[in-house]
């Protein structure tokens, strides 16, 4: 990206090394870029800097000046630095020409130790109970820069514990170090200024406005940014210790934004979802509604065995019967409803299935449109509508052909219907209509009105149980990763589709999801020269962002 005005580069000395940084860089950021980590609590790169935790103290200096305001040049040809006798906080200061910074001098280390001791004076030290233990900055910096013992003999200040700040956030004021990150987040990012500090002196504590609880759809982000265990997620509270969680980097599928997330699971159970930094998509935030919508994955009612007319059968049998039914019907009497929640690989195989069955314009996806919140929740609640359009599973108006399909089923011209991950009753059909069908082949993860009438029911995997790729509303290709295993005999969607294609037409030699992507990349020009591994954790921009945004309107 090139800007009209050239950004001025400034010379800064960090721990004796001269480096260049653009004007306007905060000192703490400059040190981070120079691989000199400075411990900090209140500073957050996405928020303003109040400089109240005092943890990021460093030694600073400005160039010595001659009486005619010229820098004094030292023996090495660089300006000599006159060090400021007292330490400065690095988070509230921008770099300046000729500035000197020391991040690990004896004074800095002594300062950090002192600040840690002060921060811990009223801290209850209830790490064995606290949910933050294991990812707590207090713990980390205590070990790194703090001291082992407490010299504090007085009674600790008692503050409110287990306070419900909102429906999803619990506050433990004793653990709070008053960094005000949550206050600033609600004010600056969520634009819902409802948290503040009350009381005075050492009785300072965080509280919600009495008439304005923390109900924002972004409230759980305060839990993420809280450096200590003061704010905890009511949903995750006391459920699992964080060090047990196996983390899978994947993306959110609740809307077209495709926010980057990390799934924390243990022994095939998902315990929490946290946002993952990606400045091109979601920054480091995630809406609560998306974050908490994972319980259905571990639902008891998940479909676990393939069924034919309500009787459990083996996979081989189910696939064979489905293929036979599809072959028995003419192309005109077959329709297919795909899902814009499926991955590109699955949609590609669906496309191939449509071609094999020679279905002509009797296929579509079900659109989901909601109210956008102007931040991270997109209007399109399907995560991969762009992919469905690209792979020709629907027209530019998703859902346009659904009426034709529904009419066809109603008047009896369509006798076989394939529903891949969607409930046909949401496409304008009633349960009575579905009863009229000769063949209803359904692939899904949870029982619904359509699965109840399925002639062949194929249990598939949920979004966090499979790999694949999706394209968000801005045309960015991103990757899904597997966090947990599918229950029972449920299989990966692409494997089911592959077997179905194989049973309908013959062998095709796909054994890995990578092969599917390869095949797709060879045929679809947008995917050319890409592979699942090339997508990376942060995704790649596949389509023109502006064009996609206009198309969405």
Between CA 59 and CA 36 the distance in angstroms is 13
Closer residue to another protein in complex, CB, 136/477: 136
Helix extents (H) in 385-430:
385-390, 402-411
Between CA 279 and CA 45 the distance in angstroms is 12
Closer residue to another protein in complex, CB, 172/345: 172
Q: Which stretch binds another protein (CB under 8 A): 16-24, 178-186, 232-240, 357-365?
A: 232-240
* Residue 419 near residue 497, CB atoms below 8 Å: no
Q: Is 133 in the site for another protein (CB under 8 A)?
A: yes
Find, among 348, 306, 358, 352, the residue nearest to 327 by Cα: 358
Residue 537 CB burial class (10 angstroms; 0-12, 13-18, ≥19): middle
Find, among 325, 395, 398, 405, the residue nearest to 362 by Cα: 405
Count residues near another protein (CB under 8 A).
13
Closer residue to another protein in complex, CB, 151/435: 151
User: What's the min distance (Å) between Cβ of 169 and another protein?
Assistant: 15
User: What's the min distance (Å) between Cβ of 148 and another protein?
Assistant: 12
* Residue 356 near residue 386, CB atoms below 8 Å: no
Work out which of 16, 77, 106, 128 binds another protein, going by CB under 8 A.
128
Strands (E), 34-158: 57-63, 81-83, 88-89, 99-102
User: What's the min distance (Å) between Cβ of 133 and another protein?
Assistant: 7
Q: Is 361 in the site for another protein (CB under 8 A)?
A: no
CA distances from 449 to 151, 325, 416, 432, 457 (A): 66, 21, 17, 11, 12
User: What's the min distance (Å) between Cβ of 162 and another protein?
Assistant: 7
Work out which of 23, 70, 86, 237 binds another protein, going by CB under 8 A.
237
Work out which of 129, 269, 369, 512 binds another protein, going by CB under 8 A.
129
Helix extents (H) in 292-401:
315-328, 344-357, 385-390
Closer residue to another protein in complex, CB, 238/296: 238
- The token pair at 163 is 């306070």
Work out which of 118, 152, 244, 400 binds another protein, going by CB under 8 A.
244
Q: Cα 216 from chain centroid?
A: 18
Closer residue to another protein in complex, CB, 170/450: 170
Q: Which of residues 160-199 bind another protein (CB under 8 A)?
A: 161-162
Per-residue DSSP letters for 221-258?
HHHHH-SSSSEEETTTTTT--GGGPEEEEEE--SSTT-
Closer residue to another protein in complex, CB, 118/238: 238
Closer residue to another protein in complex, CB, 125/512: 125
Work out which of 23, 86, 191, 239 binds another protein, going by CB under 8 A.
239
Closer residue to another protein in complex, CB, 134/428: 134
User: What's the min distance (Å) between Cβ of 204 and another protein?
Assistant: 21
If residue 518 lies in a helix (H) or strand (E), which one and from where to where?
A: helix 513-523
Work out which of 156, 241, 304, 449 binds another protein, going by CB under 8 A.
241
- The token pair at 72 is 């004094």
Work out which of 62, 127, 163, 540 binds another protein, going by CB under 8 A.
127
User: What's the min distance (Å) between Cβ of 144 and another protein?
Assistant: 20
Closer residue to another protein in complex, CB, 86/239: 239
Which three-class secondary structure state does DSSP give residue 80?
A: coil
* Residue 239 near residue 298, CB atoms below 8 Å: no
User: What's the min distance (Å) between Cβ of 131 and another protein?
Assistant: 9
Q: Which stretch binds another protein (CB under 8 A): 76-84, 240-248, 445-453, 460-468?
A: 240-248
Q: Which stretch binds another protein (CB under 8 A): 84-92, 128-136, 203-211, 429-437?
A: 128-136
Between CA 215 and CA 7 the distance in angstroms is 41
Between CA 74 and CA 67 the distance in angstroms is 16
Work out which of 238, 324, 397, 485 binds another protein, going by CB under 8 A.
238
User: What's the min distance (Å) between Cβ of 447 and another protein?
Assistant: 28
User: What's the min distance (Å) between Cβ of 246 and another protein?
Assistant: 13
Closer residue to another protein in complex, CB, 85/128: 128
* Residue 289 near residue 436, CB atoms below 8 Å: no
Work out which of 69, 243, 300, 507 binds another protein, going by CB under 8 A.
243
- The site string for another protein over 144-163 (x = CB under 8 A, - otherwise) reads -----------------xx-
* Residue 401 near residue 395, CB atoms below 8 Å: yes
Closer residue to another protein in complex, CB, 161/209: 161
Closer residue to another protein in complex, CB, 18/244: 244
CB atoms near residue 403 (< 10 Å)? 12
Q: Is 547 in the site for another protein (CB under 8 A)?
A: no
Strands (E), 416-512: 416-420, 439-444, 456-459, 468-471, 476-480
Closer residue to another protein in complex, CB, 33/162: 162
For binding to another protein (CB under 8 A), which residues are involved?
Answer: 126-129, 133, 161-162, 237-239, 241, 243-244
């Amino acid at each position: 990206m090139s800007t009209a005005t050239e950004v001025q580069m400034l010379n800064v000395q960090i721990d004796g090394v001269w480096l260049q940084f653009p004007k306007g860089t905060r000192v703490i950021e400059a040190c981070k870029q120079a691989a000199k980590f400075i411990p900090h609590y209140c500073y957050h790169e996405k928020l303003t800097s109040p400089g109240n935790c005092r943890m990021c103290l460093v030694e600073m200096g400005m160039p010595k000046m001659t009486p005619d305001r010229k820098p004094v040049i030292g023996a090495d040809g660089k300006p000599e630095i006159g060090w400021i006798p007292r330490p400065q906080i690095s988070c509230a200061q921008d770099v300046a020409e000729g500035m000197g910074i020391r991040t690990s001098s004896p004074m800095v280390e002594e300062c950090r130790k002192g600040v840690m001791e002060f921060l811990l004076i009223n801290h209850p030290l209830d790490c064995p109970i606290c949910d933050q233990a294991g990812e707590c900055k207090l713990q980390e910096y205590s070990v790194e820069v703090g001291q082992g013992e407490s010299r504090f003999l007085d009674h600790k200040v008692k503050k409110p514990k287990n306070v419900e700040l909102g429906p999803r956030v619990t506050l433990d004021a004793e653990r709070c170090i008053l960094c005000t990150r949550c206050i600033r987040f609600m004010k600056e990012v969520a634009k819902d200024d409802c948290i503040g500090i009350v009381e005075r002196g050492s009785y300072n504590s965080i509280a919600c406005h009495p008439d304005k609880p923390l109900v924002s759809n972004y409230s759980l982000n305060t839990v993420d940014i809280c450096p200590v265990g003061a704010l905890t997620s009511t949903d995750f509270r006391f459920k699992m210790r964080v060090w047990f969680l196996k983390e899978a980097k994947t993306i959110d599928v609740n809307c077209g934004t495709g926010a980057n997330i990390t799934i924390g699971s243990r022994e095939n159970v998902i315990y929490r979802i946290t946002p993952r930094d990606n400045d091109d998509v979601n920054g480091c935030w995630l809406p609560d509604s998306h974050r908490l919508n994972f319980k259905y994955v571990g639902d008891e009612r998940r479909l676990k065995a393939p069924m034919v007319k309500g009787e459990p059968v083996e996979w081989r049998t189910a696939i064979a019967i489905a293929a036979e039914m599809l072959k028995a019907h003419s192309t005109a009497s077959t329709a297919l409803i795909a899902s814009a929640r499926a991955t590109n690989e699955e949609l590609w195989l669906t496309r191939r299935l449509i071609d094999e069955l020679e279905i002509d314009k009797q296929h579509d996806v079900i659109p989901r449109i909601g109210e956008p919140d102007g931040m991270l929740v997109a209007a399109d609640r399907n995560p991969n509508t762009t992919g469905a359009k690209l792979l020709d599973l629907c027209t530019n108006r998703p859902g346009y052909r659904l009426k034709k399909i529904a009419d066809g089923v109603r008047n009896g011209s369509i006798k076989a219907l394939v529903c891949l991950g969607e409930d046909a009753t949401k496409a304008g059909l009633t349960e009575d209509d579905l009863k009229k069908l000769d063949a209803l082949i359904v692939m899904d993860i949870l029982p619904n009105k359509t699965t109840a009438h399925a002639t062949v029911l194929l249990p598939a995997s949920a979004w966090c149980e499979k790999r694949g790729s999706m394209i968000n509303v801005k045309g960015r290709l991103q990757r899904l990763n597997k966090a947990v295993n599918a229950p029972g005999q449920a299989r990966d969607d692409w494997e089911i589709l592959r077997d179905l294609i194989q049973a309908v037409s013959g062998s095709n030699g796909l054994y890995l999801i990578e092969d599917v992507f390869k095949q797709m990349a060879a045929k679809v020009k947008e995917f050319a020269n890409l592979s699942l591994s090339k997508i990376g954790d942060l995704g790649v921009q596949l389509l023109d962002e502006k064009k996609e945004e206009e198309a969405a309107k």
